[in-house]
Each structure stands twice: as C-alpha cells, then as structure tokens.
Amino acid sequence: MGSIAQASQSPSPRELSGGLLFEEVTRSSDILWGFDFISGEEVLWTERSGKLVRFHLKTKVRQEISGLPKVWAKGQGGLLDIRVDPQDKSRVYFTYSAEVSGKGGATALGTAKIQGSALTEFKQLFVSNTPTSSGQHFGSRIEFDSPNTLIFSIGDRGEREFVQNPKSHNGKVIRLTRDGQIPSDNPFANSPSHAPEVFTLGHRSPQGLAMRSDSLLVLAEMGPRGGDEINILKPRGNYGWPILTFGREYWGPRIGEGSTKAGFESPVHQWTPSISPSGIVWVEDKTLFPSWKGSLLVGCLSGKQMRRIEFQKVGNQWSFLREQSLLADLDARIRNLRMGPDGALYLSTDGGVFGRVSPGKKFQ
C-alpha cells in the first residue's frame, strides 16, 4: 500500500499584483505535472519522476498511490497528466512515457480504479507507434470531449519528419473511447491513409488542452524560438508543424515555408518571443472570479506567469481579443492549472508547489 504522510504547515497567504491572493497549499520535491480533483476535499497529482499522490486539502494528509505501471522517466518524460472520470469518480485516466523494449519511450494512456491508496484494474489503453530514445516533447494533456470519448495530445518527440505522416502518432491529438477503442465518428476512422485514432495533426509540443461547455476546444503548444500557439481544434485539422510556424530554429534560421498556407489551420493567437505555454483551463460556471468568466487561463514555463486570454466570436469565427499577464510575482514555472470545486484557481509548478489563487480585496 502507499505511504501516508502529514504535510507541513502551509505558509500564510500572500497578496499578488492584480488583486489576487495566493496560498501555498503544500509542496513536494518534484515537478507536479498534472492534477485533478476527486472531490471538494481531495486532489490527485502526478510527480514526473513516477509518483501519484492523493492529497486531502483540509487535513493536509498525503498518500502515495501504489499500482502504477512502470514509467520511463527520462528527459521530459515521466508520469504526465491525470484526469478523474467526471461520470465515475473512482476511475482515473493518465498519460505517461512507457518503455518500449529496445526503442526507448513512447507516450501512453492508461486507466485504473482508485481505491484508497492503491490503483486497481489497471489497463494500458494506448501506446504511441513512434517510440524513440529522445527525451523530448511527449505532450500530453487529457480532456473529456463527450460522455463516451476522450482526447489527448502527443508531441513531435523531436522527430519532425513524422509529424505530417498521417499514420504516425508524432505531433497528433488522439481520440479514443473511454475503453480504448476507435470511435466510429472519428474524422479518419474510415481512411486507409491515416491512423484511425488521429483527431488533429501538425503539433509540436502540446501541453495544454481544454474544452469549454460550449464545446470550444483549444490546444496550447510550444513553438521553438517563438511561435507558441493557441489553436482551436477542429476534426481533421492540420496545424502546420513543421511546415508552418512563427518560430525559428534556436540558432536563428527560419523553419519551413512561413506562417500561413492554404489547407492548414492558423493559430487563434501566437507568442513571439516564447512564453512556453503549459496547462490551460477555462473559467466557467461556479467561480470566485466572475469578471473572468469565458476567459482562458494559460500557465507559462519560461514566461513564469499566467496569461488570461479573452476571445470574441464574429459570425462563425473566433478571434483573439485581449490578454492580461498575472502571477509573475510567484516567479515560478507554472506547469498546470485547474479550477477547483470551490471556485478558486489551483496551480502546480515545476518547483513542486501546489497552490490556490483567490480574489483579494482589490480584485476587480
């Protein structure tokens, strides 16, 4: 069974610019890559080195969960995202880098039941068909896009030549049923030229994925030197990498054929220079931030901040409206964001911090 530990006392809440209040709920020694809420009082988080932790928000008791598969924790790989099934709070889905014998690691999707401090009934639902010894760009975020299906992202693994190959999983968003089958309404389900699980293609390093209640589905991905993107995902969409990008090689030269081209989808917003977007979340429903409703929040790594983005819709087209920079006071690489059951914003960082953001007295 997993070990149980009492967390140390949290530091007092601190005021941040923008009228926000930040509370460090607890801290670990590893990158907190993904997290999700089991209930209003409990959260699960992944530590990239391969630990899954169950944490009680009130008692501060943490339990390490046993029963995980072996994780290939090398480079940027390890235990990645985790989501609690909204229809069955005892079931979780998670992505991780799995070892493929003699070929390195590949992004994988697994599911299991969580019972106390143990995972049971584990099943590996998917393993990418392009394993490599490279430790780069595994992705990977998970989102539930319907009551029966889920989608998750896979990065290019540093091997660009496979991204535009429709049968390769590099640089793709994948869509499966929740038991790992191919949905009959997948865009390439009946196409012999494509892997049938592919939903979209042409992505580089996609670490943010979120669906709004009106089905607006967006992906955040890192470019090379510049060209970080927010993309609105459409079935069959090709988002261009590495043929199209606003970024450059790290040593200077241009990449591909430019930034736009007929037949490819353009980002709804891009950042040059880079801010390295990671986890993203929509602000909706029950929230302590009513003035933020409808906004997309973007956690940033190299930017060490959070961006709040507003979009507008004219006819059938969405476009970028404005953005606001927040949380720079934390000076932290913000890896993931999620709205909590209490309406507050929760975040995790590469420094191991799990924190809560709420409105202060000066918030507007």
| Adjacency order of strands within the sheet including 334-339 | 14-16, 20-27, 353-359, 345-349, 334-339
Beta bridge partners of 147: none
Q: In the block, which residue shows the tokens 């009130």?
A: 58
Q: Is the peptide bond before 273 cis (omega within 30 degrees of 0)?
A: yes
**Residue closest to 277 by CA, chosen among 291, 267, 287, 285:** 267
Choice among 137, 169, 194, 203 that is catalytic: 137
Query: How many CB atoms are located within 10 Å of the residue 115 CB?
Result: 12
Say whether 137 is catalytic. Answer: yes
For the chain, what is the radius of gyration of the CA atoms?
19
- Report d(CA 171, CA 241) in Å as an integer: 8
What is the spatial distance between Cα 329 and Cα 171, in angstroms, rounded to a whole number? Answer: 33
Q: Are 53 and 354 in contact (CB under 8 A)?
A: no
- Residues catalogued as catalytic: 137
